[in-house]
Amino acid sequence: MSSYNRIVKAIATNRKALRNYEVFEKLEAGIELFGTEVKSLRAGTVSLDEGYAAVEGGQAFLVGVTIAPYAQGNIFNRDPKRRRRLLLHREEIQRLFGRTTLRGYTLIPLSIYFNDRGVAKVELALCRGRKQYDRREELRQKAEDWDERPERVRVR
């Protein structure tokens, strides 16, 4: 990522994703939003917990992400759980379609943020789900690594 498009501040992060999925690749995509949805994003009322991205008909969509209705939006508010189109290059969409259908990967949103130009972006990850025993093994390994580090010893 260039310094021109750096992340200014993450609006929402999907903390469960890194625990429940094994991440193979990360990428950035734009989102097609309506005005009240952008205002709601700026207010920070978004949930990525149940979200995923799907490729259908040569287009990528963000599904299951909840953007709460904007308080002053009245009749202009949209359905909070509607599918939102992701803005990606055609080659990226074809590559992601191949990986999600043939290899069994899933596209999971990791975070939503505004870049320094004020454009809403989604950080997506190409993931594979972890089994319960994989998660337990990872926690066990982290605990062992934590105990083995000599700098963790407290000296008073």
Domain ranges of the chain: 7-130
- Separation of alpha carbons 50 and 118, rounded Å: 25
pLDDT at 5: 60
Place of tokens 């469960």: 16
pLDDT at 4: 52
Low-confidence ranges of the chain (pLDDT < 70): 1-7, 150-156
- Separation of alpha carbons 18 and 48, rounded Å: 13
The DSSP code for 1 is -
Superfamily name with CATH number, domain 7-130: Small protein B (2.40.280.10)
pLDDT at 28: 95
pLDDT at 147: 75
Residues 6+ apart with CB under 8 A from 89: none
Q: Quote the Cα angle for 16-25-82, to 5°.
A: 55
